[in-house]
Structure 1
Amino acid sequence: MVFKLVLHRGWEHAIFSSTQTRDAVALHTAQIAADAIKSAPRRSATKNNWNQIKKHIEAHVELDAQGWHGNVTIEENHRVRHAMLQERGWRDPKGRRHPGRRYLKGALLRARVD
């Protein structure tokens, strides 16, 4: 008996648009968002302010023409602290360099598959 794998044209769309793919993408997107929230910089361990970066990190799963994909959005509200400045670093008005914390990059590196 011989088994032959025949791939029909367009099989990827059926797989990438399935509910199982949505569940897998949602799981991994939520894990990346949770890891980013856990390692996000905090001003104080005791105070819980409305504009903390960790309160403005959210995971979204969406369907487009290619299939399901997940996004982790950060800082949709323009009034919260600058999450990307915390990530990449900045210079203060006196010209001193403040290095970035790279917490988002770290979350992505921990989620990658080798």
Structure 2
Amino acid sequence: MSKFTLKMVPGWEREVLSDPQAQAIVEYHTARLAELAIKSAPKASHRSNWNSIKRNITAMVTLYDTWYGQVVIEAEHDVRHAMLQELGWRDRKGHRHPGRFYLKEALERARIE
């Protein structure tokens, strides 16, 4: 039986997570999460308008110290109703409209146990 000693080198996470293979993994999982969010996004009508929620969900992967993936919702500032659909809102009469939590559902489906 051989002796094995694990030696942790400080900063190994940055070295591993800035690798091009890590970029491919982050891109895959970010795109998968964006697809799940688009599939579960609410539909306002049968046609797809420029301001529909599904058209305003995109995936981005950038390199800071490590590869970082994010799903961006409504980068267009004229479209702001996606988060209102997610969390709920009060109309002018004061009635509460509950949220649909479609983004939360997408995150729960993408979760790795």
Question: Given the two structures, how large is their TM-score scaled by the length of structure 1?
Answer: 0.91
Q: Distance in 2 between matches of 1:98 and 1:50?
A: 24
**Residues 52, 81 of structure 1: 8 Å contact kept:** no
Mapped pair 1:101 → 2:97: no
Runs of 4+ in 1 over 6 A off after TM superposition: none
Name the SS for the 1:59 alignment partner.
strand
Name the CA distance, whole Å, in 1 between partners of 2:80 and 2:69: 24
CA distance in structure 1 between the partners assigned to 2:44 and 2:14 by the alignment: 45
- Which segments of 5 or more consecutive residues in structure 1 lack a partner in the other structure? none
Instruction: State the match for 1:6 in structure 2.
Output: 7
Kindly report the root-mean-square deviation, in angstroms, between the aligned alpha carbons of the 2 structures. 1.2
Displacement, 1:10? Answer: 2.5
Aligned equivalents of 2:9, 2:90: Cα separation in 1: 55
Q: How far did 1:97 drift?
A: 1.1
Q: CA deviation at 1:36?
A: 0.4
* Cα drift, residue 15 of structure 1: 0.4
Q: Equivalents in 1 of 2:48, 2:54: separation in Å?
A: 10
Which blocks of at least 5 consecutive residues in structure 2 are unaligned?
none
Partner Cα separation in structure 1 for residue 10 and residue 28 of structure 2: 28
How many Å separate the matches in 2 of 1:93 and 1:8? 58
| Aligned residue pairs, count | 112
1:91 aligns with 2:80: no
With normalisation by structure 2, the TM-score equals 0.91
